[in-house]
Amino acid sequence: MTTSPLSPEDGQRAPGPGVSGDPADQDRIRGGPGFPDDPDRDDDVDVLYLAGQRPAGRGEWLLITAVDGLPGAEFTARVLPAGGRQAHGGDVLVHLAAQSCAGELDLPAVRVSVWAAVDGLLIPVASWDRADPDGWPERIRVTVAFAISVLTELEEHGADLGPSPVIDLDDDAVTALVGIPAGVTFGAAGGSGRLPGR
C-alpha cells in the first residue's frame, strides 16, 4: 500500500482509500480532532495517510497489521474505535495523543508510544514526546518493525504470548511493564503501571 500523493493546490494529502473529495469528508478527516469514525472500519489503513490528523480526547490506538522497515514502504494498521478497544497477546500497538502547545508560538505536537501485548500485559516499547504531527509515522517505523520481529521470534521459539486474557485499552489502569516479562517463557510475571497520558 502506498501513501496518497500531495495535492499541488493546497499542499495537503489527497483523499485516501474510501475517502471522497467531498468537502464534508475532508472536514471530517482534517477539520476536527479524531481519526475518521466509520462503523464499517475493519479495513487496514496506511499509517502514513494518518499523519497530520489530530487524535481526539484521550488518544487513538492503532493495531499494527504490517510494517516494512524501509522508509516509504508498507506500514498499515487498524484504527481501533473508541469504546471496547482491546488487545491480545502478540499485538503491537501505537498510541497517539495530542499535546498542548506550551506557548503561543509553539507548533502542535503529538505524543506517540509503541506497545506490545504479551500474556495479558501491555508492555511499553518506546515513546516520543512533542513529535511532529506530520512526521511521526516514519519516526516510529523502525521501532514498530523491531517490536513485531521480537514478538514473531518469541512465538517461533515456542513462547506463549497468550491470546487471552484480553487487554482493555479503554481501562484507566492497565498492567504495564518495562521490557519483556520473564513469565513469557519461565512462568508468571507481574507488575503494574498506567497507560500513556493517564
Pairwise CA distance, residues 42 & 60, whole Å = 15
The number of residues making up the chain comes to: 198
Q: How many domains does the chain have?
A: 1
Question: What residue numbers bound the domain in which 104 lies?
Answer: 39-186
Query: How many Cβ atoms from other residues are within 10 Å of residue 83's Cβ?
Result: 6
Angle of CA points 119, 123, 126, to nearest 5°: 155
> 129 lies in a domain?
yes
> 32 lies in a domain?
no
> 175 lies in a domain?
yes
> 125 lies in a domain?
yes
pTM above threshold 0.75: no
Pairwise CA distance, residues 111 & 151, whole Å = 24
> 23 lies in a domain?
no
**Tens-binned pLDDT, residue by residue, of the chain (198 aa):** 333 333 333 333 333 444 333 333 333 334 445 665 544 456 899 999 999 888 987 899 999 999 998 998 999 999 998 888 999 999 999 999 998 766 656 678 999 999 999 888 888 999 999 999 999 999 999 999 999 999 999 889 888 887 777 888 887 545 565 666 666 554 444 443 444 444
Pairwise CA distance, residues 28 & 20, whole Å = 11
> 3 lies in a domain?
no
